[in-house]
Structure 1
Amino acid sequence: MTQSTRRRWWKESVVYQIYPRSFKDSDGDGIGDLKGITEKLDYLEELGVDVIWLSPVYQSPNDDNGYDISDYRAIMDEFGTMADWEELLEAVHRRGMKLVMDLVVNHTSDEHAWFVASRSSKDSPYRDYYWWRPGSDGKEPNNWESMFSGSAWEYDETTDEYFLHLFSKKQPDLNWENPRLRREIYEMMTWWLDKGIDGFRMDVINFISKVPKLPDAPDPEGKGYVSGADFFMNGPRIHEFLQEMNREVLHRYDIMTVGEMPGVTPEEARLYTGEARNELNMVFQFEHMDLDSGPGGKWDVKPMKLTDLKRTMTRWQKGLEGCGWNSLYWNNHDQPRIVSRWGDDGEHRVVSAKMLATCLHLMQGTPYIYQGEELGMTNVQFDSIEDYRDIETMNMYREKVEKEGVDPTEVMRSIHKKSRDNARTPMQWDDSANGGFTSGTPWIRVNPNYPEINAAQAVKDPDSVFHYYRRLIQLRKKYPIMVYGIYDLILEDHEQIYAYTRSFKGEQWLVICNFSGEEADFQMPAEVEMTRQELIIANLEVDPTENISSFTLKPYEARVYQIR
C-alpha cells in the first residue's frame, strides 16, 4: 500500500475556508463574527463539507486583517469572545464536522507582548525572539524587499536598530533560531489542540527558517530592494523545525495539518508531506496561481494558457503520487474569484463554475472550497481605490500611481483582476440589503451582483452551482476512486480541453473539461481502453447513449464517465 492509498480522514474530507470578517455579521457592526458563523452551520452541513478552516480570529490590531496577531490565546473583540468560539467549536463537532485553525508563526503583530518587550531594550530576554540588526551608513541591514513592497526592514529609534518584516512593518518576523521562542509556540499550539481543534493551516510556514547571516540578495538591475526569497523560503533548518514541531506537538493528536508554502516544488513537497518524515499532511503550493502573471509579477496580468495549467497540475499530481498528498484549490482569501479568472463570469457563469469544480474535485488530493465559491461568486470592480481595504492592493496603487506615475485606470484594471479584496467582499446570503451579510454598514462593500448571486437563490434552485458542489461532495463519499485513484493526463497538447483519467482497483474514470467559451471536439486517445460507458456527473444535459469515443463539447462543458 502506498502513502497515497493509505486511508486517512483528512484525505477523504472536503474543507471549507471561512474568512470570518466577511462571512456573516450577527450584531450589525458591519464585521462578520463567530456567532454569525455558528448561525450558518446548517448551510455548511447541507453543502456536505467535513472540515471548516477558520482564517485568524485571534486578537489583532488588524493591519493585515488578522494575520498580525497580538495575542495567540485571545479572540479578536470584533469577532466575539472565547465563549463564542467555544460555542462554535461545540456546534461544529455536534454536526459531525471538524474545525481547523490558522496558525501564523512566521511573524506576530508589533503589538504582541513579545515584541513590545523585544524592542524595549537590547538586553531584553525577548530581544532574540525577533530579527534585529544595526544599519550601516543610514541604510537597512540588507536589500530585501517586503512582500507588501518597500524595504523589509523598519528602523526603531528606541534601540537604534532595524527589525525584519517580510510583510507589513507591523508584522515583525519571529526568530526561529531561538529555542525558547519555539517552546512558547509549541505550548500555544498544544493549548489550542487541548481545547479540541482538529488541526492547523500554517501561514507561510516555509519562511520560518532564515539564513542566519541575512545576506544581501543579488540585484543585477540595481533596483535597490529585491526579493530575498532564496534566503528564507525553504530555509536551511525548515525540516528540522517542522520535525521538532511534530515531535513536540502534532504527533500526539489525530489532526489535519497543511502548510502554506510559496515557492515550494513537488520534490520539496515530498519531503514536507512524506508520512515517514513526520512533518505535515499536505502543503499549499502556488505554481498554478502564477500562470496568469507576466514577467512583472502578480499585477502584470496575462491570459492563462491551458497547456501550462495541465503541465503544472500534472507535475504535482504525479510528483506526490504514492509518496505525499496534494491540497486542491482554486480560491482562497488571497486569490481572485476563479469563475472570473479562468471561467466566464457573464453568460456562462454557472456552467463554467461547475466545470472548474469538476476539474479540481476529481483530482487526487483534499479539495478546499472558499466561501462563496459554491455559489459562483465573482470578482468585484469597484471604481475607486477608496473602496478597497487590502493593504497589499493599496500599497501597490500608491507605489504605481504616486511614485511611478502609472495611469490610475491601468492600475485599477490590474486590481479588478488580481486584488485580494475580490475574495473578501461579503458572503452573499440573500437579495436583501447588503446581501443579508449585515444589518449595518459592511466593512467593505458587497459585490453589487448579490441580488442575482446569493445562497438563498442557490439553495432553492436544484440546477445551481451550490447543488452541483453538493453532488461532487456526495460522490467523493461514495466512490473511493475519487480520493485514492491514480491520475493520468490525456490530450496533453489540446488548447481547449483538460482531460484525465483516474484509476483504482480495476476501475477507471474519464474526466473531460472544456476550458473555453467555444465548442471543442473530443477524440478518445488510442491508449485509453473503454469497456463501458456510464455517466457519473455532468454540468449540462447529456444523451447517455452518445458515443463518447468522439463528440463535441459545448462551451465550458464538463463530463465524468466510468469507462472501465
Structure 2
Amino acid sequence: MERKWWKESVVYQIYPRSFKDSNGDGIGDLQGIISKLDYLKTLGVNVVWLCPVYKSPNDDNGYDISNYQDIMDEFGTIADWEMLLQGLHDRGMKLIMDLVVNHSSDEHAWFAESRKSKDNPYRDYYIWRPGSDGREPNNWGSFFSGSAWQYDEATDEYFLHLFSKKQPDLNWENEKVRREVYDMMTWWLDKGIDGFRMDVINLISKVPGLPSVPVEDGESRPYHFGGDYFVNGPRVHEYLQEMNREVLSKYDIMTVGEAVDVTPEDAALYVGEDRDELSMVFHFELMGVDSGPGGKWDCKPWVLKDIKDIITKWQTLLSGKGWNSLYLNNHDQPRMLSRFGNDTDYHKESGKMLATLLHTLQGTPYIYQGEEIGMTNVKFDSISHYKDIEIINMHKEYLEAGHKEEDIMNSIYIKGRDNGRTPMQWSSEPQAGFTTSTPWLAVNPNYTEINVENALADPDSIFHYYKRLIELRKEHDIIVYGDYKIVAEENERVYAYQRALGSERLLVILNFFGESASFELPAEVGISEPELLIGNYDVGQAEDVRSLELRPYEARVYKFSV
C-alpha cells in the first residue's frame, strides 16, 4: 500500500460561522479561527478543513457561493484568510478548502447573466428547460423539499436546483464551465492550500434528456428523488479524471469528495489508486443506519449489527483498492455522542468509546469541531430558534401534510443539522465564550459544563483522550495501514476487530451500550503478551483478554505480536 501524508493525517473540520467570533457581531470569523490555532496544535491534528468562507448571500450558510475568489464580509478579508493559511503552515498544519461546484448562488455573476436571455453567452452555464403543460420539465424533487425546478419569468423557462432555489446547478456538460472551475481551483492551490473537500461532487453529471422518475399508479407525491438520473451520472468519472489531469495532479494535495448514495463498489471508482480521481470520499451509508423507510426524518433506533456490517463492508471492499474517510458527525449531521452514545449518564465514557472507533479503523479520521469535548445535540423549544433551511422547509412541508408538531420537532431533535451548528463551547462565560453579543444561532445550554476550558483542565477529559489517540496514530503504523478483520461478529453488544500489519496485531474491543457486556475472544484469534495501548477505564494488567466483562461503553485497544 502506497504511503501518503493524507492517509497518516487527522483532519479537524471547522464550521466558521460557529467556531469563534472575534469582533462581537455574533458570527464566527477568520480572526476567531486564527486566535484558536494553538488550541488545534495542542490537540494534535494535522489538517484543517474549512467549510465555505467565500462570498455568499447565505441562503444555505455559505454553500451558495456568489464569488469563488473572495471572502464573505462577515468572515473577514483575503488578507485575514492569508494570515490563517500562514498560521496553520507555521504550526505544521495544512489547510483544505471546500469546493462547491455542483451549483453556485443565484447571485453569482454567471447566473445573473444566464437568466437575462436565452441567447446570453452565459445561458448554458446552467441547466434551463421549458416547462411541459404548465408544469416543471420533469418530476425531480429537491434535496431540500419540493420541486428541483424554479420558474423564471424573464425567459419563461425553468432552471434546475437540486438544493435550494437559490442554488442553481451548474451545467458541467459545458466545457467553458469546467474550464472556469479548473482555473478557480488553480488560483486557490497557487495560494498554497493543501487540497479540497468537494461538496456533493458525484452529482455534477446528469443523465442526458433529464427524464422524469417513473412512478407507480396511484402515487400522490408530485416530486421524486431522481437519484438514478443525477447520482454517479454517466460522465462523472470523465469529469473528475479531467479535473485531476488539468489541476489536481500538479500539486501534492488531498481531496475528499462528498458522495451521495454510493456503495463501496462505486467508491472504488472514485478513489482507486490507479484511477486518478480523488484521495477518498465521504459516504452516507452509516449516516442512514437510524433512518426508516420514510428517509432521514423517519427516525428509528440503530442496531449494532447494522453498524458493524456497514463499517466492515467498507473496510473490506476498499482494502487494497482505495482509502476510507472516517467520520460520525459533521456540519450536516447531528452530534455523534447524542446519536450513537449516551449524552447524559455516560457522556465521557461513550464519547471516548466512539472516538476509539473512529481513530482505530483504516482510513483518515475527521473530527468535527466540538466533538473532541463531547458537544451534544440541542433541543430548542420552538421552530423559530432554528436557522437551517432544510429544517425549516421540512417543518413546513410536514405540517401541511398533517404530521403532529410534537413528532416533527422530535425528528428535528434527533436528526436536524443545527444540532452540529450551535456555537463552539469555549468556556462557561456568557454565550460559551463564543461571542460577546447575541450569537447567530443560540448556544447549547449545557455549555456551562461542556466546554474547552473545563476539558483542558481535566486530565481525564474527552479532549485529552482524543489527544492520546492522535499521538498513538503517529506512533504506530499499524493504526494507519493495518488490514481490518472483524472479531466475534455475532456479539450483539460488543464491536471488536483486529488490525494486522506484518507481525503486529491490534485488537479493538468496544461496548456500545450503557450496561455491562460479556466478551469472549474466539479461539482462532491468537494473542500473546497484549499491551494495552489505550482504554477509557482503569484496567488491571492481569485481566484475561480472552474473557472480559466490559463496563458500560468500555473501550480497549491492545497491541501484540504474532
Q: TM-score, normalised by structure 2?
A: 0.99
Correspondence for 1:501: 498
2-structure distance, mates of 1:278, 1:563:
36
Correspondence for 1:557: 554
SS in 1 for 2:274: helix
How far apart are residue 479 of structure 1 and its match? 0.3
SS in 2 for 1:509: strand
Correspondence for 1:521: 518
Correspondence for 1:293: 291
Match among 199, 204, 207 for residue 203 of structure 1: 199
How far apart are residue 407 of structure 1 and its match? 1.2
1-structure distance, mates of 2:460, 2:408:
37
How far apart are residue 405 of structure 1 and its match? 2.1
Correspondence for 2:326: 328
Q: Does 1:144 align with 2:143?
A: no
Match among 2, 21, 24 for residue 6 of structure 1: 2
Match among 348, 351, 370 for residue 353 of structure 1: 351
2-structure distance, mates of 1:253, 1:139:
47
Q: Does 1:312 align with 2:330?
A: no
Q: Does 1:303 align with 2:294?
A: no
2-structure distance, mates of 1:194, 1:562:
42
Correspondence for 2:48: 52
Matches within 5 A, 1:44-83: 44-83=40-79
Counterpart of 2:108, as a letter, is H
1-structure distance, mates of 2:132, 2:480:
55
Matches within 5 A, 1:242-391: 242-391=240-389
How far apart are residue 222 of structure 1 and its match? 3.6
1-structure distance, mates of 2:541, 2:55:
55
1-structure distance, mates of 2:275, 2:184:
23
SS in 2 for 1:254: coil
How far apart are residue 563 of structure 1 and its match? 3.1
Q: Does 1:531 align with 2:528?
A: yes
Deviation by residue 1:212-235 (Cα, 9 ceiling, x = unmatched):
210000221242100011100000
Matches within 5 A, 1:123-272: 123-220=119-216, 221-272=219-270
How far apart are residue 140 of structure 1 and its match? 0.2
Counterpart of 1:461, as a letter, is D
Deviation by residue 1:83-122 (Cα, 9 ceiling, x = unmatched):
0000000000000000000000000000000000000010
Match among 102, 107, 123 for residue 111 of structure 1: 107
Q: Does 1:428 align with 2:418?
A: no
How far apart are residue 360 of structure 1 and its match? 1.5
1-structure distance, mates of 2:491, 2:234:
40
* Residue segments in structure 2 that go unaligned for 5+ positions in a row: none
2-structure distance, mates of 1:18, 1:218:
40
2-structure distance, mates of 1:292, 1:388:
22
SS in 2 for 1:277: coil
How far apart are residue 133 of structure 1 and its match? 0.2
Match among 435, 438, 441 for residue 435 of structure 2: 438
How far apart are residue 551 of structure 1 and its match? 1.4
2-structure distance, mates of 1:405, 1:312:
34
Counterpart of 1:53, as a letter, is W
Deviation by residue 1:334-369 (Cα, 9 ceiling, x = unmatched):
000011001000010000000000011100000000
Correspondence for 1:89: 85
Deviation by residue 1:118-176 (Cα, 9 ceiling, x = unmatched):
00010011101100000011100000000000000000000000000000000000000
Counterpart of 2:381, as a letter, is D
Matches within 5 A, 1:403-422: 403-422=400-419
How far apart are residue 493 of structure 1 and its match? 2.0
1-structure distance, mates of 2:484, 2:149:
45
Counterpart of 1:410, as a letter, is D
Moved runs in structure 1, 4+ residues, more than 2 A? Answer: none
How far apart are residue 330 of structure 1 and its match? 0.5
1-structure distance, mates of 2:547, 2:560:
14
SS in 2 for 1:11: coil
SS in 1 for 2:131: coil
How far apart are residue 247 of structure 1 and its match? 0.3
2-structure distance, mates of 1:145, 1:24:
36
SS in 2 for 1:155: strand
Deviation by residue 1:186-232 (Cα, 9 ceiling, x = unmatched):
00000000000000000000000001210000221242100011100
Match among 460, 465, 470 for residue 457 of structure 2: 460
Match among 462, 474, 480 for residue 477 of structure 2: 480
1-structure distance, mates of 2:123, 2:92:
44
SS in 2 for 1:333: coil
2-structure distance, mates of 1:563, 1:165:
53
2-structure distance, mates of 1:31, 1:392:
20
Counterpart of 1:466, as a letter, is F
1-structure distance, mates of 2:359, 2:475:
14
Counterpart of 1:144, as a letter, is W
1-structure distance, mates of 2:193, 2:426:
27
2-structure distance, mates of 1:320, 1:328:
13
Counterpart of 2:269, as a letter, is L
1-structure distance, mates of 2:134, 2:321:
50
How far apart are residue 379 of structure 1 and its match? 0.1
2-structure distance, mates of 1:116, 1:132:
14
Correspondence for 1:447: 444
Counterpart of 1:319, as a letter, is L
SS in 1 for 2:445: coil
Counterpart of 1:333, as a letter, is H
1-structure distance, mates of 2:190, 2:355:
35
2-structure distance, mates of 1:197, 1:277:
23
RMSD: 0.6
Q: How many residues align?
A: 559
Counterpart of 2:447, as a letter, is Y
2-structure distance, mates of 1:563, 1:548:
12
1-structure distance, mates of 2:448, 2:164:
36
How far apart are residue 268 of structure 1 and its match? 1.2
Correspondence for 1:102: 98
2-structure distance, mates of 1:165, 1:551:
54
Correspondence for 2:541: 544
- Mean Cα deviation higher: 411-420 or 219-228: 219-228
User: Matched residues, percent identical?
Assistant: 66
* Residue segments in structure 1 that go unaligned for 5+ positions in a row: none
SS in 2 for 1:502: strand
